[in-house]
Structure 1
Amino acid sequence: MSTNIKITRICEFCQNEFIAKTTKTQYCSLKCSSRAYKARTRKSKIDESNRQTEIARQPHLEAVKTKDFLSVNQASLLFGISRRTIYRIISRGELDIAKFGARTVIRKCDMDTFFSMPLEQSLLRPVQEFPGLENCYTISQIQQKFGISPGALYMLIQRQGIAKYSVGKFNYVAKKDIDIIFNVREK
């Protein structure tokens, strides 16, 4: 059975106009059809090679994706953030962990939940208003008054989540926050 259909089409490979005899014809000639097939084959080989290279670069990533519990190294690999950032999130109390000796284990669903929260809730804390110089200690004043080393003071300020204010070349901390930590009674 033959048809006398003549449809004007555009070749999907060379983009030239041609007359097709069926509605499914895509290419103007066998030459364009062969070239399109070779281009598709080449592209699929390149895509497969790139996928294999990505797996070779990060061999553990595929295995990590299937786990329910992650170490800090695995979580940093999976989420593309540094180990130190994960430890900071943990120290702020925004991520639940389990400790097995020295090993820290994080549930993957907790990490997913943390990163699905809006940025305002997870990372940004309300900024405290500067109480004024008369209501603040400098870092050196705190060290002298309470006899604490600089490193211990900075760790204490960080651990307690106390706001520091930079004015000029000095760092200030609110007197009320420091007095609460060192149990100073008001006179």
Structure 2
Amino acid sequence: MASNIEIQKKCEWCGTIFTAHKITTAYCSHRCANLAYKDRVRKKRIQEFHLKHDAELKPNSEKEFLTPTEVAAFLGVGRTSIYRYIKNAKIKAVRFDGKTLVRRSDIDKMFDYIIASNNENKPKEKTPISDFYTTAEVKEKYGIKDSWIFHIAKEHNIPRTFHRGKTYWSKKHIDDYFAKKAPDPKIKEWYSTQDMQ
């Protein structure tokens, strides 16, 4: 049974304001829920690694260089993946005395880069639309026909909503569209079509 509750919430992953139908809903979309889940799994793996290997690494916890095996355990992936990351230059590595070594600071830099990339890809927070025109108000204000309003809205993706059989248009989007179409106030003289002929 669908819930009639509508709660305005902020997505815990991307920060977008959305309408939730359950109190427990934390994310605006399946994509955000999935990304948050993957992030939790990654953090859990890192935490488990620290708990498991802290005793082993304690004397060398400040060790600057790690072997691919240690890096694999640290990141919770296979050694093959680490060698692939090294080959694709996602992780910097050096060869020293026949050994491949990865600097700990380079692993931190890699995560800083990934986090920065994810933040750039997050959708910008949308401002909810609160002011609307009825179709009659748009017609009266801008002197256009019903069919032209629907044509403009479709062509320029102007948001609309319906309430009790009436169509309501976003004031901001309608005003912005007609502001672009307004004549330049710097032009003082105009010719009519007859003058031109």
After TM superposition, the score normalised by the length of structure 1 is 0.31
Question: Greater CA radius of gyration, 1 or 2?
Answer: 1
After TM superposition, the score normalised by the length of structure 2 is 0.29
